[in-house]
Amino acid sequence: MKIIFYQNGEAININTSNLDLAGIYKKIKRLSENTTDKLRIYVSEERIEQLKQTETALEIIFEKEIEISSPAFGTEKIKRIFFPLSGDFIGNGESPVITIFLGTVNYYYPDALRNPTGYKDLMLLKNMVTKQI
């Protein structure tokens, strides 16, 4: 698993050797399983790249494809997942909606998923992976 933390236009590769990778995987599964809707706007690869440069975000790239599922999209095989941590695609403690971008080896799907209650779990995931920065 490769984890990249984006902040202030900088991509920080997280050393995963001391991380609870099973716990991180479990948190990712929980976040995706609790999605209830797909975002109704088209988000291009260029927009994802812009988010990496201008917002705080977390990207996780898996060594092998993994399977995740939810009522919103069924079962999907993915190779990477992208979580905006600031900006238009995330709420806060009072409005806990989050957006999740799923992807293959080469691109992210343009229709992101929405988790209406995922903010707290996403902040826990962020803390799990950034504790050594």
For residue range 2-21, what is the model confidence (pLDDT) as tens digits?
Answer: 999 999 999 999 999 999 99
Select the more confidently predicted residue: 72 or 59.
59
Digit-coded pLDDT (tens) for 99-119:
999 999 999 998 899 999 999
* Residue 111: predicted pLDDT: 85
Question: pTM value?
Answer: 0.95
Q: Which domain holds residue 92?
A: 2-130
- The number of domains in the chain is 1
Digit-coded pLDDT (tens) for 16-67:
999 999 999 999 999 999 999 988 888 999 999 999 999 999 999 999 999 9
- CA 129 to CA 106: how far, in whole Å? 24
Instruction: Tell me the torsion sign for CA atoms 1, 57, 34, 94.
Output: positive
| Cβ partners under 8 Å of residue 44, min gap 6 | 110
* Residue 72: predicted pLDDT: 73
Does residue 127 sit in helix, strand or coil? helix
* Residue 74: predicted pLDDT: 87
* Residue 62: predicted pLDDT: 97
